[in-house]
Amino acid sequence: MANAPFTIGRNTTVVFLWNGQNIQLPNVTGFRANQETKQQRSDPLNSLPIEFNTPSGWRGQFDVDRQDATLDILIAAIEAAFWNAGTIANGTIYQYIYERDGSTSCYEFTSVAIRLSNAGDYRQEQIVKQTVEFFASQRNMIS
pLDDT tens-digit readout, 9-66: 778 899 999 988 999 887 999 999 999 999 999 999 999 999 999 999 999 999 999 9
Identify the CA nearest to 135 among candidates 61, 75, 70: 61
Angle at 57 between CA 56 and CA 60, to 5 degrees: 135
Residue type, 43: D
pLDDT digits (tens, 9 = 90+) for 104-121: 999 999 999 999 999 999
- Spell out where the chain has E strands: 12-18, 21-23, 28-42, 50-65, 91-98, 104-118, 129-136, 138-141
Residues 6+ apart with CB under 8 A from 140: 107, 108, 110
Residue 17: CB atoms within 10 Å: 15
**pTM of the full predicted structure?**
0.88
